Amino acid sequence: MSAVREHFGSRLGFILAAAGSAVGIGNLVAFPVAATKSGGGAFLLVYALFVFFICLPVMMAELALGRRADKDPVGAYRQLSGGSRPWTIPGWLALATPFMIAVFYLVVTVWVLGYLVETLRGNLDQLATEAHFGQFINSPIVFLYLVLLMLGINGILAMGVKDGIERAAKTLMPMLFVMLLGLVFFVLTREHAMLGVKYYLIPDFAKIDGAVVSKAMAQAFFSLSLGMGIMITYGSYMKRRDSIPGSSRAVAITDTLVAFTAGLLILPSIFHFNPQIDPTELSDSSAGMIFLFLPKIFLALQDSVGYFGASAFAAVFFFLVLVAAVTSLVSIIEVPIATLRDERGMERKKAIYTVAAVQFVLAIACAVSFGMVNFFTQFVQLAGADKSFFDLVEIIFYDTILPLNGLLVCLFVIYKWKRSNFDQELQMGDSAFAGSISQKYINFSLGTFIPLILLLIFINTVALKFFGHSFI
């Protein structure tokens, strides 16, 4: 027998919790760098088009599935398919994906926590050295930080949907927005900052090609937490009177605004550090930017605000990234917890302990994949190169399966659950949606070109990541 279903206390609570899931490390670092290297304002335009014309319909589909079934992804697919065994596979994929994404995401968040602590201890100059990152990620202290991080995250989850997830989102998300804006206002007053703004915002349509379009699509899809089962799970926590279309638009706008604003922080900071820099040579890796490059930028601020001021700026930034990562992790880990509660009838705390125990072991395997244990460091060969256990988890569950999960959602909603049922759920709490242009577009797009785009992304990702070839 399944556990009693919890629900968000308010529409605002849902929007902030869903936005907290969407706003993560990628928004604050990967998005600004991707935009800068791929045409600036032109990339922003392509990204926005993907968010609102492709990702938004997929988000509505996931939320509708969850709310109609009032269950986790596994239960939602099983119930709405009438128990069809083939359609239980997407449900299990939507469970395994967030479970494993949380494993490597925990490790990256541990690094952020460690850098925040070192900054507060006055060691910004050490963080800015090339050797420090390699030394830090292979030091035993990461295991202590992992324990502390998991205690904090699971403590939030233990308080439940309304008192835990929703309350944390209502506290942390406004804090994130205010702190981000404060950092932006500060950095825009620095010398050469406007060079970064111009580079970020002035469109260069000559750089828009197939690869850039694919990158914008992937960034938008991943940024909104689609294909992870999160929106299906959060949809099951929505009240019947809440508008799915309206809430989805609010989440998409919030996520896009945070990503855009983060660009106004990162790029001006980079140009203040070096006005002659060519941003196209920046690392594509979020980890490389956060832990190897940005500390040098923060340290350079001491010329204008002193070492203490530079350290304070760096501490606020790392705290900002930590908040974004924690809100994402809370949402990601809630998916397998919800599944254990629905499918096994577990109490919330028992489900949390079960998920945490397995993820802790796997997170340790990821944490030692950078030289501590050779077995995990050189775990497998893909596309002719050695990949660590950490790399393998990221490639399979973050890069590859997400577009596949999105594809399966589209096919299921339109061709198995049927358009009429989908429409009925979207109109629940939003009667004006019936017969609107949005309704017609969403029905058409989910059944035609959106699945085709996601299929092409999936095929290209498999070819690139596993065989070293790209079709784009």
CB 365 within 8 A of CB 107: no
* The pLDDT of residue 445: 95
Average pLDDT score over the chain: 90
Q: What is the spatial distance between Cα 279 and Cα 258, in angstroms, rounded to a whole number?
A: 21
Q: Is residue 462 part of a domain?
A: no
Q: What is the spatial distance between Cα 87 and Cα 85, in angstroms, rounded to a whole number?
A: 5
Q: Is residue 376 part of a domain?
A: no
State mean pLDDT over 331-350.
93
Q: Taking every pair of C-alpha atoms in the chain, what is the biggest distance, in angstroms?
A: 66
Q: Is residue 381 part of a domain?
A: no
Number of domains composing the chain:
1
Q: What is the spatial distance between Cα 11 and Cα 242, in angstroms, rounded to a whole number?
A: 6
Choose between 159 and 468: higher pLDDT. Answer: 159
Q: Is residue 272 part of a domain?
A: yes
The full 3-state SS of the chain, as one line of letters, equals CCCCCCCCCCHHHHHHHHHHHHCCHHHHHHHHHHHHHCCCHHHHHHHHHHHHHHHHHHHHHHHHHHHHHCCCHHHHHHHHCCCCCCCHHHHHHHHHHHHHHHHHHHHHHHHHHHHHHHHHCCCHHHHCCHHHHHHHHCCCHHHHHHHHHHHHHHHHHHCHHHHHHHHHHHHHHHHHHHHHHHHHHHHCCCCCHHHHHHHHHCCCHHHCCHHHHHHHHHHHHHHCCCCCCHHHHHHHCCCCCCCHHHHHHHHHHHHHHHHHHHHHHHHHHHHHHCCCCCHHHCCCCHHHHHHHHHHHHHHHCHHHHHHHHHHHHHHHHHHHHHHHHHHHHHHHHHHHHHHHHHHHCCCHHHHHHHHHHHHHHHHHHHHCCCCCCHHHHCCEEECCEEECHHHHHHHHHHHHHHHHHHHHHHHHHHHHCCHHHHHHHHHCCCHHHCCCHHHHHHHHHHHCHHHHHHHHHHHHHHHHHHHCCCCC
Q: Is residue 402 part of a domain?
A: no
Instruction: Check pLDDT > 90 for residue 288.
Output: no
State mean pLDDT over 173-196.
90
State mean pLDDT over 295-313.
91
Instruction: Check pLDDT > 60 for residue 3.
Output: no
Q: What is the spatial distance between Cα 84 and Cα 74, in angstroms, rounded to a whole number?
A: 12
* The pLDDT of residue 27: 82
In terms of DSSP bridges, do strands 380-382 and 385-387 run parallel, antiparallel, or are they unpaired?
Answer: antiparallel
Choose between 211 and 446: higher pLDDT. Answer: 446
Task: For the full predicted model, state whether its pTM sits above 0.75.
Answer: yes
Q: Is residue 153 part of a domain?
A: yes
Q: What is the spatial distance between Cα 314 and Cα 302, in angstroms, rounded to a whole number?
A: 11
Q: What is the spatial distance between Cα 228 and Cα 7, in angstroms, rounded to a whole number?
A: 20
Among the ranges given (199-213, 392-406, 443-457), the one the predictor scored with the smallest mean pLDDT = 199-213
Per-residue pLDDT tens over the stretch 221-264: 878 888 889 999 999 999 888 999 999 999 999 989 988 999 89
Q: Is residue 66 part of a domain?
A: yes
Q: Which domain, by its residues, includes 320?
A: 11-369
Q: Is residue 303 part of a domain?
A: yes
* The pLDDT of residue 472: 65
Token pair listed for 303: 């010329």
Q: What is the CATH classification number for the domain harbouring 353?
A: 1.10.4160.10
Per-residue pLDDT tens over the stretch 353-383: 999 999 999 999 999 999 999 999 999 998 8
Residue percentage of the chain with pLDDT more than 90: 59
* The pLDDT of residue 1: 46
Instruction: Check pLDDT > 60 for residue 156.
Output: yes
Q: pLDDT grade, residue 318 (50/70/90)?
A: very high
